[in-house]
């Protein structure tokens, strides 16, 4: 199933359990333009495949996903407004595709998840993490904001809990992620695959069409992810890419120095 993908590894077993693996381990599976496009396309493919019953989203190597690739972000900051909006829209579309996938999507979080990686967890139906995994919404450290992931993070955690970690950029462990509602279970690393299988197995005894219909109903009944919220989040990301703080934060990262607000 992986033919044609540069940034993903896609496979499925005989039960119909597909594995969508982010495969840029040397960059901690950071989201660049190619990965954003390929994830969007792969999710559409899996959603339309009647042989696929469940999708497991995972990362290759030590990290689950480090969020947006800063080289990709820097390119958007140097682009014109229309291009920024278009690229932010592609990221939002990827998240929306995962959220709307008619198959249940289970996140296997074996290592760090930052920024957009937290957003990818939030759009999954359930997430299981290794106890040692660290998570953070790191955008504000770089003069950015968790924009396109915001509707999904807020929907998953609720505003009160989300505000504990949404703006501070601080790291939190898998146990706190459970408390925040982002992760369903935190387990020892050696028990992670067993825990994921425990989430996968029940779906294999359910009617696939009923699972898809039930998920669609849950999304309709949920709040906070309406079209206007997504549109607003795209504009917010394009806006923040234009600020002096974002330019300073990204420059400081590439210069291997602290930004001016962290002296």
Catalytic residue ranges: 139
8-12 and 17-22 beta bridge pairing: antiparallel
Listed in sequence order, the DSSP H helices in 107-260 are: 116-123, 150-157, 159-162, 174-180, 192-200, 208-221, 227-240, 244-255
Tokens of 251: 């420059």
- DSSP label at 252? H
Strand partners, 22: 8, 59
Determine the straight-line distance between the first and last CA of the chain, rounded to whole angstroms: 48
Rounded (10°) CA dihedral 115, 106, 182, 193 = -100
Whole-number Å distance between alpha carbons of 236 and 230: 10
**Pairing relation of β-strands 54-59 and 113-114?**
unpaired
Using CA atoms, how far apart are residues 59 and 40, in angstroms rounded to an integer? Answer: 16
In 3D, which of 47, 48, 35 has the Cα closest to residue 9? 35
Strand order in the sheet with 134-136: 113-114, 134-136, 171-173
């Amino acid at each position: 199933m992986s033919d044609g993908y540069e940034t993903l590894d896609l496979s499925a077993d005989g039960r119909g359990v597909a594995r969508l693996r982010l495969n840029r381990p040397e960059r901690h599976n950071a989201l660049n333009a190619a990965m954003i496009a390929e994830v969007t396309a792969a999710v559409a493919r899996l959603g339309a495949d009647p042989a696929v019953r469940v999708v497991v989203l995972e990362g290759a190597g030590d990290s689950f996903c480090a969020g947006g690739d800063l080289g990709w972000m820097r390119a958007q900051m140097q682009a014109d407004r229309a291009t920024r909006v278009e690229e932010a829209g592609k990221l939002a579309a990827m998240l929306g595709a995962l959220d709307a996938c008619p198959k249940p999507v289970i996140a296997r979080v074996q290592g760090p998840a930052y920024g957009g990686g937290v957003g990818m967890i939030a759009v999954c139906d359930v997430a299981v993490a290794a106890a040692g995994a660290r998570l953070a919404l790191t955008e504000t450290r770089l003069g950015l904001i968790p924009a396109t992931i915001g509707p999904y993070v807020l929907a998953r955690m609720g505003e009160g809990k989300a505000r504990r970690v949404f703006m501070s950029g601080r790291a939190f462990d898998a146990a706190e992620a459970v408390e925040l509602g982002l992760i369903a279970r935190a387990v020892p690393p050696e028990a992670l695959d067993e825990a994921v299988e425990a989430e996968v197995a029940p779906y294999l005894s359910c009617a696939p069409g009923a699972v898809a219909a039930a998920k669609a109903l849950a999304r309709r009944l949920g709040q906070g992810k309406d079209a206007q919220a997504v549109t607003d989040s795209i504009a917010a990301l394009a806006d923040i890419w234009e600020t002096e703080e974002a330019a300073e934060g990204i420059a400081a990262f590439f210069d291997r120095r602290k930004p001016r607000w962290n002296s």
